[in-house]
Every structure is written in C-alpha cells, then in structure tokens.
Amino acid sequence: MKLLYLSDNDTTGLAGAILFFVIFVFIQKSNSRLGFYLSSCILALCGGLTIGFSYNSYGTFNEKMIDTIIANIVFLLGVKALYHSSKKNLVQGYLIHGAWDIVHHSFLYGLFDTRTQTPSWYPLFCFVYDFAVAAYYYFDHHRK
C-alpha cells in the first residue's frame, strides 16, 4: 500500500501538473501552432533539466551517463518534433521523459537504485503532465 501514499510534495506536484495541463489545453485551443511550438521547446528543455539534476547529485558515473543518454534522446525528440512538425516525436519524447522522471520518485527507491536528486514534487509533476500532453497529442493526431 506504500505505492498509494501521496506526500504533501506529491500533492503539490499533482496539482501543479493539472494546472499546467489546463494552461496547455487553453493555449492549444486558442493557437494550436503556438501550443505545438511551446510543447516542443519545453520537451527539449526537459533534457537539460535532467542533466542538471543528474550532474548536481551524488549519482554514480554510470547513472550520470544513463541520465545523459536519456536526456539527449528527449532533447533530440523535442527538436525533431519542432523541425518536422511531428506529433509522433513529441508523444515519444513526453512518454520517455515522464517514465524516466517517475523512476526518480522516492516510492520507487526500493526498485531502482537512483541517486539523482530531484525536487520531491518534480517526478510526479512530470509524470502526470508529460503523460497528459502525450495522450493529448496522440488522440489529437488519431482524431484527424
């Protein structure tokens, strides 16, 4: 049952993700091109955040290299989505980033030996927001 426990920081991350997703939908509905550009740039910036958290932590060399590889994949998918106007690349990037961030959540420390330190609200925030944005673009792409 420990997996179902949400700390105050988790609640903050969840509330922030919902708020940011509502803002995302508002921007997307008012100007879809601007929304897509912003989403692509945000995804590319997430790669940089991953590297920043990793290199500023007590992670092992191998963990930092894995974080760097994942961060570069996320960055390249964001840039590729922007360059090719590809919702598919955007969905892939957001799914990878969300999944990678939830690995760094404190309730998964028993499963994964991660030493990368992120703000305690950040993993759940990214997981929820990233998967919501990925679902939005996935279903929007298949609706047309």
Higher pLDDT, 85 or 54: 85
Higher pLDDT, 51 or 118: 51
pTM of the full predicted structure? 0.87
Give residue 9's pLDDT band: very low, low, confident or very high (50, 70, 90): confident
User: From CA 5, how far away is CA 28, in angstroms rounded?
Assistant: 33
Q: Over the stretch 49-67, which tens digit does the pLDDT of each residue have?
A: 878 887 887 777 888 888 8
Structure tokens at 63: 């963990």
Give residue 102's pLDDT band: very low, low, confident or very high (50, 70, 90): confident
Do 129 and 137 contact (CB within 8 A), yes or no? no
